[in-house]
C-alpha cells in the first residue's frame, strides 16, 4: 500500500525543514501529528435514538473508519439526560486514515466553507488544535439529502509537541489555512 500524500510530504520535506527552522538537535524532537479525533454531540439523541444512528453513519463516511458512541457521565434532569445514555459519536484517526482525512479536510472541505477567512490558531497550550465546524456540508463524501438537521463537528489535532509555536509551524507546513 502506498504512503498517503501528506505523510510522504512530512517524511521527505517537512521534517527536515522543521529540524532546521525550530533549531532542534535531534530528528526525534521534530513535532508530528499523533492523532485526529472527530467528535459530535447530539442533543436530539435524548428523545430519538435514530438520530444518533444517522450521525454515526455520516461520521463513518467522513472518517473512513468505524465510530464509537459516547455516553453521558452523569445525569442532568434539566436536559432529560440519564447517566450512561448515548449522546454522541467520536472516532480517533491515526496513521494512513489520519493523513488521508487531513488531506481532504485541508484541500477539499475547508476551501468550500462560505466566507472562509482562515482558522484561528487557538492552540490549547500543549500543542493541540481544536477546530469547530458548524456544518458538515463541506465534506464531499456526504449526500446532504439524507440529513434533516445539521450538527456541529469538533476536530481535534493532537501533535507530539507541548509547544504551541512548534505545532503552529508544523500545521502551517501542511498548508493549514490560518488567519493572517
Supply the mean pLDDT for the chain.
83
> Could you tell me the residue ranges of all domains in the chain?
32-173
Question: What residues does 8 pair with on adjacent strands?
Answer: none
Note whether 151 and 40 are within 8 A (CB).
yes
This prediction's pTM: 0.84
Contact yes or no for 91/118 (Cβ under 8 A): no
Confidence of residue 153 (pLDDT cuts 50, 70, 90): confident
pLDDT digits over 154-174, tens only? 889 999 988 888 888 888 888
Q: What average pLDDT does this structure show over 69-90?
A: 80
By CB neighbour count within 10 A (0-12 exposed, 13-18 middle, 19+ buried), where does 142 fall?
Answer: middle
Percent of the chain, pLDDT > 70? Answer: 95
Regarding the domain delimited by 32-173, which CATH topology (the fold level of the hierarchy) does it fall under? 50s Ribosomal Protein L5; Chain: A, (3.30.1440)
Please answer whether residues 33 and 176 qualify as being in contact, where contact means their C-beta atoms are separated by less than 8 angstroms. Answer: no
Q: Mean pLDDT throughout 137-165?
A: 80
Amino acid at each position: 500500500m502506498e504512503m498517503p500524500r501528506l505523510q510522504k510530504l512530512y517524511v521527505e520535506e517537512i521534517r527536515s525543514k522543521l529540524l532546521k527552522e525550530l533549531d532542534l538537535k535531534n530528528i526525534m524532537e521534530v513535532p508530528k501529528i499523533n492523532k485526529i479525533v472527530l467528535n459530535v454531540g447530539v442533543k436530539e439523541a435524548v428523545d430519538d435514538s435514530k438520530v444518533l444512528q444517522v450521525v454515526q453513519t455520516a461520521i463513518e463516511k467522513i472518517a473512513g473508519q468505524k465510530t464509537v458512541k459516547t455516553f453521558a457521565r452523569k445525569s442532568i434532569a434539566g436536559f432529560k439526560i440519564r447517566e450512561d445514555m448515548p449522546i454522541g459519536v467520536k472516532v480517533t484517526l491515526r496513521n494512513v486514515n489520519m493523513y488521508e482525512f487531513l488531506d481532504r479536510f485541508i484541500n477539499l472541505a475547508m476551501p468550500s466553507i462560505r466566507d472562509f477567512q482562515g482558522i484561528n490558531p487557538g492552540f490549547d497550550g500543549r500543542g493541540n488544535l481544536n477546530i469547530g465546524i458548524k456544518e458538515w456540508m463541506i465534506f464531499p463524501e456526504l449526500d446532504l439529502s439524507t440529513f434533516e438537521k445539521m450538527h456541529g463537528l469538533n476536530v481535534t489535532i493532537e501533535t507530539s509537541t507541548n509547544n504551541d509555536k512548534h505545532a503552529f509551524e508544523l500545521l502551517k507546513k501542511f498548508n493549514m489555512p490560518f488567519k493572517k
